[in-house]
Chains A and B, each alone.
Chain A
Amino acid sequence: MRREALTPYLLILPATLFLLLLFLAPVLEALLLSLRGDGGWGLEAYRRMAQDLYFGNALKNTLLLAAVIVPLQTGLALAMALLLQGLNRGKDLFLYLWTIPLGISDLAAGILWLAIFTERGYLNSLFQALGLLGEPRLWLSYETPLSLFLAVVVTEVWRATPLVFVILVAGLQLIPKEYGEAAEVFGATPWHRFVKVTLPLLRPSLQTALILRTVLALEVFAVVLALGGRNLPVLAGEAYFWYSAYQNPHVAAAYAVLLLSISILATLGYLRLLRTPPEARP
């Protein structure tokens, strides 16, 4: 009896140890690193981070990107998942096609889209062939921040929507068909069935997808670097530059701690907002 009670704890022990060792320890390490400067302990690294030339823009861009990309991806993924459900044949084919970008690393995706948006890229060639443009136009320069921002949004949406999509497809499959059928019997329109039945039951999956995607969106880095270099500073990129180019691990750690704090806040927010009350759990 006693041993049976212990079993679950023993089973989660390896995972817990793993997290403590490889997640919590580095987090603590980063926190300590950010509080230690050349001249001893203090907030020097945070002061330098906040006063840096790129800090304001990096913070703004990171939050703005997440705010634009995540809702866009969620909406798109939801539509795709519902479409897939409605298919009778070729379901697997579309599932595989739509998840291809999942298998591509973010840097590779960035470089792929760079080939499209660059001065002599596919987009300009297409526009020129159609006679819409005489000379190639620059989309990714520091003089065109809006089109650079949009290029990053498009790339990120292309690259990471499948992640949300996969989670939502799994979530949809968990919803028993009977609920929908019952609603139909009572005369609910498709829209009503979606809003009143599917969406509430999809809530736990949506929560997972949103948390994952938001945290990942806040860490956006390789795509931005590939498309815009330093033209569109983001927090993760600044952490990288402070660590590698400026060789100051303290300020880099300060950026990391800031990113972590924002991620934790976002996660807590989602947990609260999308909480499923116990009585509503299927």
Chain B
Amino acid sequence: MFRYLLVATLVLAGWAFGQGSILFLSTQLRPLEEAQKMRQVILNDFAGRVEFLPEDTSVFTDRVLAEVRTGRVTVSLLGGLHGDFPPLLRANILDPMDDALRLLSDRRFPRTFLELAKLGTNQTYYVPWMQATYIMVANREALRYLPPRADLNTLTYSQLKDWAANLERATGRRLLGFPAGPRGLLHRFFQGYLYPSYTGSAVTKFRNPEAERMWREFRELWRHVNPQSTTYDFMQEPLLAGEVWIAWDHTARLLEALKQRPQDFVAFPAPIGPKGRGFMPVIAGLAIPKGAPNRDGALALVEYLTRPQVQIITLREVGFFPVVEAQLPQDLHQGIRMVAEAIARQASGSAALPSLLPVGLGGKGGEFNKVYLDTFARIVLRGEEIRQVLDREAANLRRILQETGAPCWAPDPPSQGPCPVE
């Protein structure tokens, strides 16, 4: 009861303060079309006046830093990816949001997300806003060949291999696919899915025996992968063309297949490895800078944006998925619904092991990704000796982390100084 009263007060306060508008600076929804959707549709029912201002990450960071340092803060609410916030926290200009979170306890954010929102401290610095991630999609034809006792929602990596092997035996074709093309996102698969699932780490255990076993098994799995994978950038295309029947990719790069032919495809969570289900949520959050001119208005806006029905509107309008428990409406497109359900199943459950997009690498992000892709190319495509490759590429990884000084990010435990490669 007390809680509802508080929420009501908050909403009212928000309305009152909303008379002075809320400047909402965001690194997300930058494309003009998405920004317009935000202003005209998503924010439509909000009581206050919001000035939604999407900016490039570098502009976003510079502006907030400059405003707080000069003491003339105009921004009240910040919207960004998880990785956009650590630089602001390091400069000590984020206001803790535990008070806001207490009022939003009925929203049921996944516990793992709330843990991430602490940015490695014991206070909460942002409220989860929306998410995208990488999941699996399969052609319904392929389901007949699932190994016995395998369940799509709790598939393991070795079952995935058996499944692909069954498919190859039955059809004579290699029907598992990965986006290993020049603009594909395969590096995220290694960083956020395979490595965490097998080693519980993405960086520190890069070359340990578990990683060695992982690469050995993945090389086995790759024997059943469509060799055209090295030209695939977006998996929705080979799925629609029937060139592959099972694929892993970013939700935005799979959605078209599910939207066009929802009756032909199923979406499901990524497989589980010995250490759990590694997955990489792309989480966007809402934070408030210190000295925000309209903190109450910003809190009211956070409350509004995390309402289940607003989260559904967000999904429908800009394709980002809810971070709260939201009843999906009947008329939601079946393809989008399947993805939303797969995402929810992937993030919940005891095996869930979320990894973050790399944090703090600055301009070295590309070379960081290259280490994982080169390791893959050497071991899997060229069949080089695993131990030697891992040792050699670990040196590259170490150099990049030393040069940037980036401390570890989840799932690796926080480090003092640059993240070490054991």
- Which residues of the partner chain B approach A171 to less than 8 Å between Cβ atoms? none
A142 and B241 CA atoms in complex are apart in Å by 20
Partner of A229, one of B231, B378, B381: B231
A132: Cβ under 8 A from any B Cβ: no
Partner of A138, one of B172, B228, B364, B377: B228
What is the distance, in angstroms, from B253's C-beta to the closest C-beta of chain A?
16
A99: Cβ under 8 A from any B Cβ: no
- Which residues of the partner chain A approach B228 to less than 8 Å between Cβ atoms? 119, 138, 140-141
A123: Cβ under 8 A from any B Cβ: no
What is the distance, in angstroms, from B325's C-beta to the closest C-beta of chain A?
38
Contact call B366/A247, Cβ cutoff below 8 A: yes
Contact call A138/B227, Cβ cutoff below 8 A: yes
B403: Cβ under 8 A from any A Cβ: yes
Partner of B381, one of A119, A142, A246: A142
Partner of B182, one of A53, A225, A248: A225
Contact call A143/B227, Cβ cutoff below 8 A: yes
How many residues of B are counted as interface, with CB atoms below 8 angstroms from the partner's CB atoms?
Answer: 23
What is the distance, in angstroms, from B124's C-beta to the closest C-beta of chain A?
32
Contact call B230/A230, Cβ cutoff below 8 A: yes
What is the distance, in angstroms, from A159's C-beta to the closest C-beta of chain B?
19
Known interface pairs A230-B181, A230-B182; A247-B231 also in contact (CB < 8 Å): no
Known interface pairs A140-B231, A230-B230, A247-B367; A53-B181 also in contact (CB < 8 Å): no
Known interface pairs A141-B228, A142-B230, A241-B182; A53-B377 also in contact (CB < 8 Å): yes
Contact call B227/A247, Cβ cutoff below 8 A: no
What is the distance, in angstroms, from A138's C-beta to the closest C-beta of chain B?
6
Known interface pairs A120-B243, A247-B365, A247-B367; A53-B378 also in contact (CB < 8 Å): yes
Which A residues from 225 to 243 make CB contacts under 8 A with B? Answer: 225, 228-231, 241
A230 and B376 CA atoms in complex are apart in Å by 13
What is the distance, in angstroms, from A176's C-beta to the closest C-beta of chain B?
52
Known interface pairs A119-B243, A135-B173, A246-B367; A141-B227 also in contact (CB < 8 Å): yes
Known interface pairs A135-B173, A225-B182, A241-B182; A246-B370 also in contact (CB < 8 Å): yes
- Which residues of the partner chain A approach B243 to less than 8 Å between Cβ atoms? 119-120
The A-B contact count (CB < 8 A) is: 50
A228 and B173 CA atoms in complex are apart in Å by 20
What is the distance, in angstroms, from B17's C-beta to the closest C-beta of chain A?
42
- Which residues of the partner chain B approach A229 to less than 8 Å between Cβ atoms? 181-182, 230-231
A97: Cβ under 8 A from any B Cβ: no
A245: Cβ under 8 A from any B Cβ: yes
B374: Cβ under 8 A from any A Cβ: yes
- Which residues of the partner chain A approach B241 to less than 8 Å between Cβ atoms? 120
Which A residues from 19 to 75 make CB contacts under 8 A with B? Answer: 38, 53
Contact call A246/B366, Cβ cutoff below 8 A: yes
Contact call A53/B369, Cβ cutoff below 8 A: no
- Which residues of the partner chain A approach B369 to less than 8 Å between Cβ atoms? 245-246
- Which residues of the partner chain A approach B403 to less than 8 Å between Cβ atoms? 38
What is the distance, in angstroms, from A117's C-beta to the closest C-beta of chain B?
11
B148: Cβ under 8 A from any A Cβ: no
1/0 per residue, CB under 8 A from A, across B363-386: the answer is 111110110001001100100000
A229 and B366 CA atoms in complex are apart in Å by 18
1/0 per residue, CB under 8 A from B, across A136-167: the answer is 00101111000000000000000000000000
- Which residues of the partner chain A approach B181 to less than 8 Å between Cβ atoms? 229-230
A143 and B173 CA atoms in complex are apart in Å by 14
- Which residues of the partner chain B approach A241 to less than 8 Å between Cβ atoms? 182
Most chain A beta-carbon contacts within 10 A, residue among B227, B243, B378: B227
A140 and B364 CA atoms in complex are apart in Å by 31
A191 and B172 CA atoms in complex are apart in Å by 54
A141 and B230 CA atoms in complex are apart in Å by 7
A38 and B363 CA atoms in complex are apart in Å by 12
What is the distance, in angstroms, from B168's C-beta to the closest C-beta of chain A?
12
What is the distance, in angstroms, from B98's C-beta to the closest C-beta of chain A?
37
Known interface pairs A53-B374, A120-B243, A135-B173; A245-B230 also in contact (CB < 8 Å): no
Closest to A230 in B: B182
What is the distance, in angstroms, from B148's C-beta to the closest C-beta of chain A?
27
Closest to B171 in A: A135
A230 and B370 CA atoms in complex are apart in Å by 13
A246 and B369 CA atoms in complex are apart in Å by 8
A140 and B181 CA atoms in complex are apart in Å by 13
- Which residues of the partner chain B approach A119 to less than 8 Å between Cβ atoms? 228, 243
Most chain B beta-carbon contacts within 10 A, residue among A120, A141, A230: A230
Contact call B173/A231, Cβ cutoff below 8 A: no
- Which residues of the partner chain A approach B367 to less than 8 Å between Cβ atoms? 246-248
Q: Can you list 8 residue pairs at the A/B interface with Cβ under 8 Å?
A: A119-B243, A120-B243, A141-B228, A143-B227, A228-B231, A230-B230, A245-B369, A247-B367
Known A-B contacts: A247-B365, A247-B367. Give 5 more (CB < 8 A): A38-B403, A141-B227, A229-B231, A230-B230, A245-B182
